Amino acid sequence: MKTALLFFLLGALADIVGMGIYVERHPPTTTPLREQARDATTRMVDQTKTAAVTVKDSVADKLVEWHLTPADIKADLDKTGQVVRQKSASAVGAISDARILAVIKAKFVLDADLSAWAINIDVKDHDVTLKGFVNSPDLIGKAIALSLDTDGVSAVTSDLIVAGS
């Protein structure tokens, strides 16, 4: 029994030495798994940054297109106390109010600047009403833009108030 164990250990030792010599003489030609994972992660981070910049630029363009710049919002608030924007009738589809509400809430939850808890969203017949508080006039425009950029929405009325004003 001791002899069998001795031969087993000698065989294992010879295997380890042999593998070391083989790897030394024949280095791997492929990139190690960690490097591949690191490269994939770097590519994913770069793609995410690019997508974020694209989305940010897209939102900025829509803020201008829909007249939701801080100056536009201030003018509307001074004039009527509300900010109202409408889409063309062709943009409104057969999407339920409940789905519209869920999508807008999800957008607010995913946006670091907007608080889904501080903004109440009501949807009736594809018309969205926003009530509550935001930290700056810019965020009123952002909330309206995110709501208006939701499939099925025909109009957005904002009764949002800038906190502290």
Cβ-based burial of 130 (10 A; exposed 0-12, middle 13-18, buried ≥19): buried
Q: How far is CA 163 from CA 12, 53, 65, 68, 144, in A?
A: 72, 28, 26, 18, 17
The residues, any chain, with a CB within 8 Å of residue 150's CB and separated by 6 or more, are 100, 103, 104, 107, 128
Spatial distance between the Cα atoms of 35 and 15, rounded to a whole number of angstroms: 27
pLDDT by residue for the chain (165 residues), tens only, comes to 556 666 676 677 677 777 777 777 776 665 667 777 778 778 877 777 777 667 666 777 777 777 778 888 888 888 888 888 777 655 455 678 889 999 999 888 888 888 878 899 999 988 999 999 999 888 999 999 999 988 888 899 999 998 876
Tokens of 136: 């700056």
> Which pTM does this prediction carry?
0.55
- Return the beta strands (E) in the chain as ranges: 83-86, 119-124, 127-134, 155-162
